[in-house]
A and B are shown apart, each in its own frame.
Chain A
């Protein structure tokens, strides 16, 4: 039996893909299965990074044959591949790309799909087990994926302790035929602070009265850029005329629900909170240990934002530079 993982790259192999490999490799070990991987947009310089992670076979498609963005192009190929391999499980990172692709693939394979899973396990009798959050994570369901094949998408996790001593993957090339695409990519709009709408942003960095002046946003803007975040503000900052009202988060501003909200120099009154109470993880950076925001943030750093924020940006840049 085989497990097939779908890898994603955005410039480089994503963290999510690495964590899918790690989880699948572990499962493959337990279930004594072969681990196959497809990498739609491979970076040939980086192929060596896949060595030892537990992948047995790596499927590559001749460059330019299937545009990586196009689900329309990839779905028939992947369906056929999964069928030919008779894969027991198909796993992908729970990214926008991975989730949409798996949903379509699942329909073609008439298989079940569990999205956004937190963990993947394998029973002794060879059945995949996943833990899937329901109700926005308020409830967890442990699912036993009896039917073959099954599909899962996995949320990224730490890859510490991942397999390193596996084989060097055998590479299989494919040259699928492609019928003309009906759905075409007109443009790719990259994230940049200006372009991300607050209400759609997955990450928001927000500043308040602690910013201290209209010219002090640089530190926050740089952090935004590296995180692909949108810039938010408290009403105090808007009121003072330091930033446009469109950035205001709160009761009388925008209601946002990013996965991550970083509040810098914001005291966190209820009127501000009203706009961001649906945020996933809340990080607060504030000088005053008694600030209300520390009552409901997940991570709080007491200190000067002008010290901490540039430090964060710097370290993140360094990490990105290394190509994590």
Chain B
């Protein structure tokens, strides 16, 4: 079995990104990059699959230097093959472009299973994996909290607002991972050190800039005013419960 895991570096979530001088871009150059947390679940799921069913697992990451960091993080967890997919120089990629580039490479690799985090926590795009499934003609399940493979069929618990859909499908398929699916392993230091030296294959997406041109324009980037307007309702103050009801209605099952 061949498994592909899609990984991405995201800026350290602990730090607030800054807005560039033109006001339409986020500056991330000064930030540390870490492996997207949802991708850690995907890597762990792939490693567990490998352990139980035996598989060749390849991690792929699209991008420049930071993509290599994501691959090294995946190596540290135990992945053995890493592919950096290089986008055309200077291309500004949206989820659409990313999926097109990755599809180009994955078509040749033809994995039986593609795993990815349910979204990257920087752009919160939440679409690349599903798009890939469409480009490649694979089935897909999103935000999966339980995954099992038996007799060549996948059983995936897909989380949604009212519970879980237990889906069963044949391979090939694309699965995105949600927290709770597993507990990603903590890499050992010898692995971390080895990861620094492991070879990364490089592939070009081989698509033209025009094909990848974003279909939208960023007008403005802003930092929201603190959403946390604290409200404290003292005892017997009117309105507290009513206020809360509104909130609960909105936050649950919407």
Offer 11 A-B interface pairs, CB within 8 angstroms, sorted by A: A10-B162, A115-B119, A135-B11, A139-B222, A185-B167, A187-B166, A188-B162, A189-B163, A299-B230, A300-B230, A302-B234
A324 lies within 8 A of chain B by Cβ: yes
Is B216 touching A143 in the complex (CB atoms < 8 A)? yes
Known contacts A96-B159, A138-B17, A319-B245; A103/B251 CB under 8 A: no
Q: How large is the interface on B (under 10, 10 to 19, 20 to 34, 35 or more residues)?
A: 35 or more
Contact A189 B124 (CB under 8 A): no
The answer to whether A103 and B163 have CB atoms under 8 Å apart is: no
Contact of B160 among A97, A135, A136 (CB under 8 A): A97
Quote the shortest CB–CB distance from A132 to chain B (angstroms).
8
Asked whether, in the complex, the Cβ of A103 is within 8 Å of the Cβ of B131, the reply is: yes
B234 touches A183 (CB 8 A): no
Asked if B218 and A143 sit within 8 Å, CB to CB, the answer is: yes
- Cα A289 to Cα B233 in complex, Å, equals 10
* Interface hit among B43-51, B80-88, B139-147: B139-147
Task: Tell me if B160 and A96 are in contact (CB < 8 A).
Answer: yes
Mark interface residues in A306-323 (1 if CB within 8 Å of B CB, else 0): 001001100110010000
A147 proximity list for chain B (CB < 8 A): 215-216
Cα A72 to Cα B232 in complex, Å, equals: 47
Question: A-side binding surface: helix, strand, loop or mixed?
Answer: mixed
Q: Which of A47-55, A57-65, A197-205, A243-251 makes up part of the contact surface?
A: A197-205
Smallest beta-carbon distance A64→chain B, Å = 18
A-side residues, CB < 8 A to B, are: 10, 14-16, 69, 71-72, 75, 93, 95-97, 99-100, 102-104, 106-108, 110-116, 129, 132-147, 150, 155-156, 158, 182-191, 195, 197, 199-200, 202-203, 227-229, 257, 259-260, 280-281, 283, 289, 294, 297-303, 308, 311-312, 315-316, 319, 324
Expressed in whole angstroms, the Cα–Cα distance for A39 and B13 within the complex equals 38
Given that A10-B253, A182-B169, A308-B241 are contacting pairs, would A142 and B160 also be in contact in the complex, using a CB cutoff of 8 Å? no
* B215 to A, closest residue via Cβ: A147
Complex Cα distance, B223 from A182, in Å, reads: 44
Which residues of B are interface residues toward A (Cβ below 8 A)?
11, 13, 16-17, 19, 26, 94-96, 99, 119, 121-127, 129-135, 139-143, 145, 155, 157-170, 173, 178-180, 214-224, 227-237, 240-241, 243-245, 247-254
In the bound complex, what is the Cα–Cα distance between A163 and B99 (angstroms)?
Answer: 37
Most buried by A among B218, B235, B252: B252
Question: Which residue of the partner chain, among A107, A143, A186, A301, contacts B240 with CB atoms under 8 Å?
Answer: A301
Please state if B243 and A299 are interface contacts (CB–CB under 8 Å).
yes
Residue numbers in A under 8 Å from B121 (CB-CB): 135-136
Give bound CA distance, A183 to B26, whole Å: 39
A294 CA to B227 CA, complexed, in Å: 16
By Cβ-Cβ distance, the 8 closest A-B pairs, closest first, are A147-B215, A103-B130, A107-B134, A103-B127, A107-B131, A200-B180, A183-B169, A96-B160
Q: Which of B166, B223, B250 contacts A140 (CB 8 A)?
A: B223
Interface contact B162-A191, CB-CB below 8 Å: yes
> Chain A's nearest CB lies how many Å from the CB of B107?
14
- Chain B: minimal CB distance from A213 (Å): 22
A187: which B residues are within 8 A, CB to CB?
Answer: 165-166
